[in-house]
């Protein structure tokens, strides 16, 4: 999951918000990356790096949850992701933001808990190549909230919504043209994941207004506390999670997820936002390619077209 804003939410951050307090340091970084001089290649490059990191992290989380179970994988993932978030806050030296900002970050944390939980469940019962692009359609949530406030979507966003809806409808169908029970259950959880991720996108805009490091830390701390309570209630076993390969997978997924968020934040500082946002939202493509090459996943031709329609919808909704 890419932790960038989407749709009509704010997608740029200031140097102070990222924790770089020194203006000379910021100017040196701008000069080094070519923000003020030379071709602006760093923005697209960082955005692509963000997509690769987020897509690979999603893939690792999905395959690990198949071996360990959803709750144990979530617990390990969020606990690991919390460590760099806490370090970021300490290094930034920023003060605790206001109550409203913290409340928005708490809401974002609850939303991402639902989103990741549903995504992992979807990958355990469905096909990753289908689940990944559908879960990325959460960009429609900020647009829908704007519509409720009489902030109507653009033509591109409207076309994107239609494309995504049609794509989801065809993705659930088997090669014989009938709905597949496995696909249906996977798509259902993927749609729930999209709602959770979409609410996360929407809430992270006000949550990061005063401080991105604090927003990231609170949004990671809430899922950790939620998972602790759920583990205590359900007496979730962690035997499989202690295996070396699962520990490595979750550690890599958490670090990749954090890297994707940071790379996207810097990409918005060094490139045109329409280009950066489109490149960053292509992270499901990375997940699909990994699933096809490493797991040998194959989908029917109609489902391939459906996946393309969903991804097209995501791009249109993002740039609209």
- What pLDDT score does 180 carry? 53
pLDDT band at 172 (very low <50, low <70, confident <90, very high): low
pLDDT in tens, 58-67: 899 999 998 8
Percent of the chain with pLDDT over 90: 19
CA separation for the pair 154, 112 (Å, rounded): 27
Query: Which residues lie across from 179 on neighbouring strands?
Result: 173
Domain ranges in the chain are 15-22+48-319
Q: Is 173 helix (H, G, I), strand (E, B) or coil?
A: strand
Average pLDDT over residues 31-45: 57
- What pLDDT score does 32 carry? 43
Q: Which residue has the higher pLDDT, 241 or 38?
A: 241
Q: Which residue has the higher pLDDT, 10 or 318?
A: 318
pLDDT in tens, 181-204: 555 568 889 889 989 988 888 888
C-alpha dist (Å) from residue 169 to 174, 178, 183, 199, 247: 11, 11, 11, 22, 36
Tokens linked to 65: 């949850």
> Are the C-beta atoms of 107 and 199 separated by less than 8 Å?
yes
- What pLDDT score does 3 carry? 55
pLDDT in tens, 210-255: 888 898 899 999 999 999 999 888 887 877 888 889 899 999 999 9
Average pLDDT over residues 119-137: 86
Kindly report the number of other CB atoms within 10 A of residue 204's CB atom: 28
Query: Which residues lie across from 173 on neighbouring strands?
Result: 179
pLDDT band at 33 (very low <50, low <70, confident <90, very high): very low
- What pLDDT score does 179 carry? 52
pTM value is 0.78
Instruction: Evaluate if residue 106 carries a pLDDT over 90.
Output: yes
CA separation for the pair 21, 13 (Å, rounded): 13
- What pLDDT score does 253 carry? 92
Radius of gyration of the chain (CA): 19
> Are the C-beta atoms of 151 and 8 separated by less than 8 Å?
yes
pLDDT band at 279 (very low <50, low <70, confident <90, very high): confident
Average pLDDT over residues 162-181: 67
Average pLDDT over residues 76-81: 91
> Are the C-beta atoms of 306 and 167 separated by less than 8 Å?
yes
- How does DSSP classify residue 51? H
Residue/partner pairs of 30-35 with CB below 8 Å, 24 or more apart: 30/269, 30/270, 33/270, 34/270, 35/269, 35/270
Q: What are the residues whose beta carbons fall under 8 Å from the beta carbon of 256, sequence distance 6 or more? A: 53, 54, 56, 57, 60
**Taking the chain, what is the end-to-end CA distance rounded to the nearest angstrom?**
20
CA separation for the pair 19, 85 (Å, rounded): 12
């Amino acid at each position: 999951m890419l932790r960038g804003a989407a749709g009509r939410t704010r997608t740029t951050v200031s140097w102070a918000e990222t924790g770089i307090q020194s203006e000379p340091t910021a100017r040196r970084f701008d000069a080094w990356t070519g923000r003020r001089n030379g071709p602006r290649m760093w923005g697209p490059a960082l955005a692509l790096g963000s997509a690769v990191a987020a897509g690979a992290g999603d893939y690792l989380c999905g395959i690990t949850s198949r071996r360990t179970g959803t709750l144990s994988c979530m617990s390990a993932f969020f606990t690991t992701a919390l460590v760099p978030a806490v370090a970021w806050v300490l290094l930034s030296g920023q003060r605790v933001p206001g109550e409203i900002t913290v409340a928005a970050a708490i809401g974002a944390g609850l939303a991402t808990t639902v989103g990741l939980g549903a995504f992992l469940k979807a990958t355990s019962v469905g096909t990753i190549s289908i689940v990944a692009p559908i879960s990325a359609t959460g960009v429609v949530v900020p647009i829908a909230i704007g519509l409720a406030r009489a902030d109507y979507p653009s033509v591109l966003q409207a076309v994107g919504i239609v494309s995504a809806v049609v794509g989801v409808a065809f993705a659930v169908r088997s090669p014989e043209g009938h709905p597949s029970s496995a696909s249906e259950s996977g798509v259902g959880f993927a749609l729930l994941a999209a709602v959770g991720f979409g609410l996360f996108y929407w809430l992270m805009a006000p949550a990061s207004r005063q401080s991105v490091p604090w927003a990231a830390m609170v949004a990671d701390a809430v899922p950790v506390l939620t998972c602790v309570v759920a583990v205590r209630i359900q007496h979730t076993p962690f035997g499989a999670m202690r295996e070396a390969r699962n520990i490595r997978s979750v550690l890599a997924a958490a670090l990749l997820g954090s890297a994707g968020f940071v790379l996207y934040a810097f990409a918005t500082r060094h490139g045109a936002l329409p280009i950066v946002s489109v490149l960053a939202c292509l992270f499901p493509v990375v997940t699909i390619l990994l699933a096809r090459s490493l797991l040998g996943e194959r989908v029917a031709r109609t489902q391939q077209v459906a996946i393309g329609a969903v991804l097209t919808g995501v791009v249109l909704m993002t740039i609209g």
